[in-house]
């Protein structure tokens, strides 16, 4: 007799608990993202030290009042480098997501709205092909062809994120296009472009924002990976990925050099992932309670 009782109580409490947890996801995600944004913005007006300024007298120091996160092998202040690294992280993410958004969303909407099935098929097959090239691999191809640096890296990461945007835009546009108000607009002889701009885009923008948050997290990961390989941000510009790579030589003597950039990479990615998950529940309540 106890079991049906239990499932009865579960059924009544179930809708409340997951939504509270999802709200927590959104809040924690927003706080983590805000932390990175604040670090980056403040770095433009104030940093404890010049992050590129070497100080041979203060090499490989631990945390102290003078150097909150310690110093690296050249005596450069780690906290200042983390602050400056936040700028690069956000810049790469923003530009990469913007490229993917501007190309991917119109392509996905076109694939959904076009009357020519061959065009829709072509767009989606091209999308599938692009998926065979992970972001980091595409960035390495660009680095080999054009040279290493943050410019080619950002373009490659942006292109690699196009399929995600195109897929989300297409599937959500297809749903919107089957609604009655679209049929009304079509019956009213509105041009397809006007329908796309005034009716489809405003209704799919929520899920596109979710995709942007997820793509941002992936771009942060890929930039860190590229800089770790020495193919992304070039010295002396501080970058979390390169700080991590340089820390490897000093793991036994100064492990804090690995921990700080590692922690901030993880926090930034976690922040954007949680923000995306939380927003998805806001915009698509059907997915509530799933990971």
Q: What residue ranges bind other proteins (CB under 8 A)?
A: 10, 13-14, 17, 21, 129, 131-134, 136-137, 140-148, 217, 221, 224-225, 228-231, 244, 247-248, 251-252, 255, 258, 262, 265-267, 269-270, 273-274, 290-291
Three-state SS for 71?
A: strand
| Minimum CB distance to other proteins, residue 150 (Å) | 15
- Find where tokens 């997820």 sit: 214
Beta strands (DSSP E) in 5-139 are none
Q: Who contacts 38 (Cβ-Cβ below 8 Å, separation ≥6)? A: none
| Minimum CB distance to other proteins, residue 279 (Å) | 15
Residue spans of alpha helices (H) in 229-286 = 240-247, 256-283
- What residues does 147 pair with on adjacent strands? none
| Minimum CB distance to other proteins, residue 260 (Å) | 12
Measured from the CB atom, the residue of 265 and 279 that comes closer to other proteins is 265
| Minimum CB distance to other proteins, residue 32 (Å) | 9
**21, 48, 132, 148, 202 from 213: Cα distances, Å:** 19, 30, 22, 26, 18
Measured from the CB atom, the residue of 134 and 202 that comes closer to other proteins is 134
| Minimum CB distance to other proteins, residue 289 (Å) | 8
CA distance 79 to 273: 24
- Find where tokens 């972001």 sit: 135
| Minimum CB distance to other proteins, residue 196 (Å) | 29
To 10 degrees, what angle do helices 16-45 and 78-113 make?
120
| Minimum CB distance to other proteins, residue 242 (Å) | 12
Measured from the CB atom, the residue of 86 and 274 that comes closer to other proteins is 274
Measured from the CB atom, the residue of 12 and 178 that comes closer to other proteins is 12
Measured from the CB atom, the residue of 141 and 194 that comes closer to other proteins is 141
CA distance 100 to 107: 10
Question: Is residue 51 classed exposed, middle or buried when 0-12, 13-18 and 19+ CB atoms within 10 A define those classes?
Answer: buried
Measured from the CB atom, the residue of 210 and 231 that comes closer to other proteins is 231
CA distance 38 to 53: 23
Measured from the CB atom, the residue of 136 and 154 that comes closer to other proteins is 136
């Amino acid at each position: 007799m106890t079991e049906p009782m239990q499932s009865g109580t579960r059924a009544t409490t179930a809708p409340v608990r997951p939504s509270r947890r999802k709200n927590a996801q959104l809040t924690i995600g927003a706080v983590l993202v805000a932390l990175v944004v604040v670090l980056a913005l403040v770095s433009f007006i104030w940093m404890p030290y010049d992050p590129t300024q070497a100080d041979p007298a203060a090499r490989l120091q631990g945390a102290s009042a003078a150097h909150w996160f310690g110093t690296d092998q050249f005596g450069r202040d780690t906290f200042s480098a983390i602050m400056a690294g936040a700028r690069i992280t956000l810049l790469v993410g923003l530009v990469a997501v913007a490229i993917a958004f501007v190309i991917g969303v119109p392509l996905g909407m076109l694939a959904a709205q076009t009357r020519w099935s061959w065009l829709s098929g072509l767009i989606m097959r091209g999308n599938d092909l692009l998926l065979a090239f992970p972001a980091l691999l595409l960035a390495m191809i660009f680095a080999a062809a054009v040279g290493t640096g943050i410019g080619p890296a950002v373009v490659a990461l942006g292109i690699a994120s196009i399929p995600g945007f195109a897929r989300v835009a297409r599937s959500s546009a297809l749903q919107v296009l089957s609604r009655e108000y679209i049929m009304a607009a079509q019956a009213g002889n509105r041009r397809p472009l006007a329908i796309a701009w005034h009716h489809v885009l405003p209704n799919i923008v929520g899920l596109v924002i979710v995709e942007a948050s997820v793509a941002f997290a992936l771009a942060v990961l890929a930039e860190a990976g590229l800089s770790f390989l020495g193919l992304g941000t070039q010295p002396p510009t501080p970058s979390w990925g390169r700080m991590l790579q340089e820390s490897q030589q000093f793991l036994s003597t100064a492990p804090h050099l690995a921990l700080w950039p590692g922690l901030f990479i993880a926090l930034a990615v976690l922040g954007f992932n949680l923000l995306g998950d939380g927003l998805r529940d806001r915009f698509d309540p059907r997915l509530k309670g799933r990971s």
